[in-house]
A and B are shown apart, each in its own frame.
Chain A
Amino acid sequence: MENLKNHATAAEEFIKDEPRTDWHDETLWFVRQKRDLAAHTLPEWEELREWGSQIKNHTLSNLDEYLENFETNAQANGIKIHWAKDAEEHNQIIHKIITDNKFEKIVKSKSMLTEECHLNEFLIQKGIAVVDTDLGERIVQFRNEAPSHIVLPAIHLKKQDVSETFHKHLNTEKGNNDPQYLTEAARQHLRNHFVESELAITGVNFAVAETGGFVVCTNEGNADMGVNTAKIHIACMGMEKIIPKAEHLAVFLRLLTRSATGQPITTYSSHFNKPRPGQEMHIVIVDNGRSRQLGRADFRNSLKCIRCAACFNTCPVYRRSGGHSYHTAVAGPIGSILSPNLDMRANADLPFASTLCGSCSNVCPVKIDIHEQLWKWRQVLVNEGYVTTTKKIGMGGMAMVFAHPRLYRLLGSIGRKTIKWFPFFVNNKLNPWYKQRDMPEAPKESFRDWFKKQQK
């Protein structure tokens, strides 16, 4: 799988196709608008976000006890619990369950954790093929690509691309781009895998300490279909997926899909508590750097994330650079604050892939201060020596500007004049944002100037 090293270079590649970039941008903005409409149907929306945020804060402040609670209750329900300190151990646990049972027919529904751990690649190297059953994930799997978005895995593709891919792999009619026809082809193809599957892997949206059960949300029904036909169900969860009580699910299920796609809830919000008779159920609880992130006061609340992708859809940089330019399993603003924790050197570019406009923090259903963390990561990365000179200059300048509000006002007005008079000066090589980007047209007066005039 391609691993493009640097966000800026990869983004440059993405935006070469201008109509496609525009389409990507507009489509995701449309999803963002659907989120707004859904949020506005609930007068308690802001309070709901606050509850979500506080439940997560509370859980993180007592995480070890909730994890142990969850384990005890899940085991009492007949579920087997495994603990993995990193991606390697996670993959090995799953591999062992597969080989112990000599299974060959394995299906997997969407799990960003298994992407983070590169489970598919690990198993392929051992000669084991896993079939991804989410439609978008199946499409990118056929194309040997990674998902470009955590909720909409194939959002970087057009229907013509899907049609070509299906023609090649599923023998669909050449040139038939009808989404209905293509979806039907995938349904038939995956049905065969489902009814014969021996082992099903799923992610976990929420794990409830009090009940020892967990919830998986899908629209397609692929998780339920896979699990309920297979002899073994393995659910993979990052340890931050815990919530204290079942009643808290109300808060998160209300927030999740409204934030993600604007739907009031996913088609299936399935609660798994016990294996069915004759079935085995396993849960792999994964750390992989999360306990370290928990110890970083500035960054720990990134662990509150419920993976709704609202911050992706609203982000002007994500929308115009595409998910693959982030070169990590979780892209977008949240990926940019999670990934440096996993590998500072490899992901040092990501906190810079942002305009710090703050839109991500405004839409986040659990109130993560994403843009502030992006800013703080920049400082950490510079101090640790992971950042190249151009970015340092840009950033040093910004640090000064933000620290001195009066300077900001002055520079703001200079900025406006500079763009008007000397566009080449701002659009120079020292401004890493310029390449392929049109600088915005300068407003004639700043809000503050305008406001002051209105007061007179």
Chain B
Amino acid sequence: MSSRAEILAKVKQNKPTLVPLPNIDFNDLITYPDLITQFISVVEKIGGAVFLYPTEEDLAKNISLEPNETYNINTLNMSEAEKLSLSKVHSLDLERVHTAYFRGKLGVAENGSIWLDEEAMVNRVLPIICEHLVLVLDKNLIVPTMHHAYQNIDVSKTGYGTFLAGPSKTADIEQSLVIGAHGPRSLKVCLIG
């Protein structure tokens, strides 16, 4: 018998009587008086910085003012052709990226995370290998909790996606928090609207 068959047979034999799934009642979930305020306060608590822009143009203006000497990648308004070529770049060549910009698809007020899927990342390694990360999010895309998040996005639609919350961090040495473990050393969240 293959290991697969053997394992499944044992599980089938040993599993207890079927019990039902619970009913998750959304009425019992926490509510926040102001989703945006809550979201901002958590992002800041977990080491991110939040900037507010009334419109996308205001953000674009601000980006254009940034010094040009660093190697930045802005995926916000990339053409399909540019995206295709970026998707093929090897990690060795992305290692020097200073700042990378992405558009988040959804934000979660309870934990300050932002959903980034493969389409938004363009290249899977880019949001993790860049030194500094900027995530742009429409204010109206903030939901209260993770339950609402999964109601609003179909995670199976993407090959790879992540709820990203703050810059990478570790506390493995004597529980001292250090920002910038393997991934980005900083996270800026730009809220539009």
Indicate if the CB atoms of B113 and A265 lie closer than 8 Å: yes
Known interface pairs A134-B172, A254-B146; A44-B30 also in contact (CB < 8 Å): yes
Interface: A341 (CB within 8 A): no
Indicate if the CB atoms of B173 and A264 lie closer than 8 Å: no
Indicate if the CB atoms of B7 and A179 lie closer than 8 Å: no
Q: With the chains together, A323 CA to B158 CA distance in Å?
A: 39
Interface: A358 (CB within 8 A): no
Indicate if the CB atoms of B110 and A222 lie closer than 8 Å: no
Interface: B98 (CB within 8 A): no
Indicate if the CB atoms of B175 and A220 lie closer than 8 Å: no
Indicate if the CB atoms of A183 and B170 lie closer than 8 Å: yes
Interface: B160 (CB within 8 A): yes
Interface string of B1-34 (1 = CB under 8 A from A): 0111011101111111111111010001110000
Indicate if the CB atoms of A84 and B3 lie closer than 8 Å: yes
Indicate if the CB atoms of A183 and B125 lie closer than 8 Å: no
Interface string of B73-113 (1 = CB under 8 A from A): 00000000000000000011001000000000000101111
Indicate if the CB atoms of A297 and B172 lie closer than 8 Å: no
The bracket for how many chain A residues form the interface is 35 or more
Known interface pairs A264-B46, A264-B165; A62-B18 also in contact (CB < 8 Å): yes
Known interface pairs A135-B173, A162-B173, A246-B150; A269-B19 also in contact (CB < 8 Å): no
Indicate if the CB atoms of A271 and B161 lie closer than 8 Å: yes
Pick the residue among B16, B28, B169, B182 that contacts A44 (CB under 8 A).
Answer: B28
Indicate if the CB atoms of B91 and A263 lie closer than 8 Å: no
Within 8 A of B (CB), among A415-447: none
Indicate if the CB atoms of B170 and A63 lie closer than 8 Å: no
Q: Which A residues are in CB contact (< 8 Å) with B112?
A: 264-265
Interface: A182 (CB within 8 A): yes
Within 8 A of B (CB), among A243-266: 244, 246-247, 249-251, 253-254, 261, 263-266
Known interface pairs A194-B91, A273-B156, A291-B7; A179-B173 also in contact (CB < 8 Å): yes
Q: Which A residues are in CB contact (< 8 Å) with B168?
A: 219-221, 267-268
B65 to chain A, nearest CB (A): 29
Interface: A205 (CB within 8 A): no
A142 to chain B, nearest CB (A): 13
Known interface pairs A67-B8, A268-B162; A135-B170 also in contact (CB < 8 Å): yes
Indicate if the CB atoms of A219 and B10 lie closer than 8 Å: no
Within 8 A of B (CB), among A50-101: 50-51, 54-55, 57-58, 60-64, 67-68, 77, 83-85, 89
Residues of chain A whose beta carbon lies under 8 Å from any beta carbon of chain B: 27, 30-31, 41-44, 47, 50-51, 54-55, 57-58, 60-64, 67-68, 77, 83-85, 89, 133-136, 139, 152-155, 157-159, 162, 179-180, 182-184, 187, 190-191, 194-196, 210-213, 219-222, 224-225, 228-229, 239, 244, 246-247, 249-251, 253-254, 261, 263-276, 285, 287, 291-292, 294-295, 297, 300
Starting from the known contacts A219-B181, A295-B13, 7 additional A-B residue pairs (CB-CB under 8 Å) come to A187-B182, A222-B182, A239-B7, A263-B165, A271-B155, A273-B159, A276-B159
